[in-house]
Amino acid sequence: MDGRTRETIKAIAGPGNFLEDPEDLAVYTYDATPLPGKTPALVVLPTSSAMLAAIMKVASESAVPVIPRGAASGLAGGFVPAAGGALVVDMHHMNQIIEIDKANMTVTAQAGVVTQALQDAVNRAGLLYPPDPASMAISTIGGNIATNAGGPRGVKYGNTLQYVLGLEVVLADGRILKTGSKCIKQASGYNLTRLFVGSEGTLGIITQAILRLVPLPQAKQTLLVVFGKVAAAAQAVSDIIARGILPASIELMDRKLVNLLEQYIATGFPLDAEAILVIEADGDPDSLAKTIVAIERICADNAAVSVKAAQSDEEADRFWEARRMAFAICSRARPNCLVEDVTVPRASFPQIIEKIQQISEDNQVTTVLLAHAGDGNTHPMILTDVSDAEEMRRVNIVLEKIALEGLKLGGTLSGEHGIGTQKMLWMEQEHSPVGIDVMKAIKRALDPQGILNPGKLWGRAADADAAGGEEQA
């Protein structure tokens, strides 16, 4: 970034809305992965879409790489700067909930609003925003949209994608695009809203969103189900789904994970179980009661050792709090924890779980099993040390084999974390060269200079430095 561009952008941002000291910039080189990032040249924290639009006009004139950032809680390197000399756009100063519209069941919020803050605000209005990524205490709505974030409730409620009705986006050239509306149905031209969801900051910078809400469920119940074998737990999940039963959440954890959690927090989970399922169902109290009975029966049919219903909201909260801590605690067990996100058609869940265990064992890699089991979304956590080259050679074999086994089962590389840089090696195998070509054509159409988050999705990180030109797209 040349000096004049830097000074122009700083002048637009104004005091308090930019960072350039080396110790500040260092914070902007990483996310929740151990993937290495480059130090940006400048960080701006815009306070309005108009300010960001003015900044993007300058950045595009000088072809400066621009990397949007929410909370950098991403698990695939989607934020990690691949290009040097970049401008990072930190959205935290745009953190206003603009409107909760009870009659239309929508919330309009700026991209920098923390997910949990939004959840709390809409709950107080008697409404629910279903997506509940485990990182929601720090993640932002903009980041959730950019990665199409999910969470345990995805089984019944789906990903962020299902809740985004409209967006405000600042484009690469500084124009402001508004998509969608508060309408719950629309068949008017191309669905630009859905195109930006999951685009990982490569097509535009999301500044505001209209999100669909649902009524708060009248009742909910959490079950803790213990199994003697991981395979039996996985089969029970598959049977629940095949029977047309739709709990809000079905989480699978293996013995290793349960024991790791117990070292740090009082989970209430049995330590000798080979696998546990934490299942939450919600809805009308009468139908909920029937759902719980049906789930208990299926678990029993799959040789569950015990089925325990949480006796209070506090007990249920303890189970869920432990679940949410899984990644943080696994990150303490070894120097690094790499989380996979491979997702398969729901009926293939038992097979992918078996494959993950086998591949890890074959390569002597420690993999802790966690999964949003009800939607086929696995989150195997590989405990490792990225500074150990020999171990990382084996870890990389495991990562690749898991990814490819997922694709072989008709799955996808990512259910809810995005591709970032972590999974871009296998994108062509998932989408075929035609699919990647079409995605690149769309990227070029919206960002012809390739300045937005270069080196992600399908780019080679090595190319990102020379921002500008198609290769970065």
By CB under 8 A, the residues from 268 to 297 that bind its own copies are: 283-284, 286-287, 290
Q: How many residues of this chain bind its own copies (CB under 8 A)?
A: 90
Residue selected from 11, 183, 271, 328 as contacting its own copies according to rule CB under 8 A? 183
Return the structure tokens found at 351.
Answer: 């097979």
Residue selected from 16, 21, 185, 314 as contacting its own copies according to rule CB under 8 A? 185
Closest CA to 140 of 114, 116, 109: 114
Per CB under 8 A, does 316 bind its own copies? no
Taking contact as CB under 8 A, which single stretch among the options 13-21, 296-304, 317-325, 406-414 is the one that binds its own copies?
406-414
Per CB under 8 A, does 229 bind its own copies? no
Q: What's the CA gap between 205 and 364, in Å, rounded?
A: 41
Burial class (CB in 10 A: 0-12, 13-18, 19+), 244: exposed
Nearer to its own copies, 162 or 259 (CB): 162
Nearer to its own copies, 9 or 245 (CB): 245
Letters for 10-39 (x = contact with its own copies by CB under 8 A, - = none) are ------------------------------
Q: What's the CA gap between 254 and 227, in Å, rounded?
A: 9
Contact call for residues 70 and 140 (beta carbons, < 8 A): yes
Per CB under 8 A, does 355 bind its own copies? no
Nearer to its own copies, 117 or 192 (CB): 192
Q: Which residue has the tokens 């637009």?
A: 12
Write the DSSP symbol of residue 148.
T
What DSSP string runs through 150-166? Answer: --TTHHHH--GGGGEEE
At 147, give phi and psi (nearest 5°).
-105, 0
Return the structure tokens found at 3.
Answer: 């000096």
CB of 410 to its own copies, least distance (A): 6
Residue selected from 5, 47, 106, 110 as contacting its own copies according to rule CB under 8 A? 106
CB of 215 to its own copies, least distance (A): 3
Taking contact as CB under 8 A, which single stretch among the options 117-125, 135-143, 229-237, 337-345 is the one that binds its own copies?
337-345
Residue selected from 63, 192, 307, 333 as contacting its own copies according to rule CB under 8 A? 192
Residue selected from 14, 99, 120, 175 as contacting its own copies according to rule CB under 8 A? 175
Residue selected from 264, 301, 441, 469 as contacting its own copies according to rule CB under 8 A? 441
Residue selected from 142, 150, 380, 455 as contacting its own copies according to rule CB under 8 A? 150
Per CB under 8 A, does 300 bind its own copies? no
Nearer to its own copies, 19 or 424 (CB): 424
With H, G, I as helix, E, B as strand and everything else as coil, classify residue 198.
Answer: coil
Nearer to its own copies, 51 or 226 (CB): 51
Please, what sign has the CA dihedral across residues 234, 236, 239, 244? negative
Q: What's the CA gap between 384 and 334, in Å, rounded?
A: 6
Taking contact as CB under 8 A, which single stretch among the options 108-116, 150-158, 224-232, 323-331 is the one that binds its own copies?
150-158
Return the structure tokens found at 155.
Answer: 């089984």
According to the 3-state scheme, what is the secondary structure of 271-313?
A: CCCCEEEEEEEEECHHHHHHHHHHHHHHHHHCCEEEEEECCCH
Q: How far is CA 335 from CA 141, 256, 360, 429, in A?
A: 29, 17, 18, 31
- Residues shown for the chain: 473
Positions 108 through 137 that interact with its own copies (CB under 8 A)? 126
Nearer to its own copies, 13 or 75 (CB): 75
Taking contact as CB under 8 A, which single stretch among the options 108-116, 117-125, 185-193, 254-262 is the one that binds its own copies?
185-193
Helix (H), strand (E) at residue 236: helix 230-242
Per CB under 8 A, does 350 bind its own copies? no
Nearer to its own copies, 34 or 283 (CB): 283
**Looking at this protein, which amino acid is placed at residue 76?**
A
The Cβ of residue 315 has, within 10 Å, a number of other Cβ atoms equal to 14
Residue selected from 50, 63, 121, 195 as contacting its own copies according to rule CB under 8 A? 195
The Cβ of residue 426 has, within 10 Å, a number of other Cβ atoms equal to 17
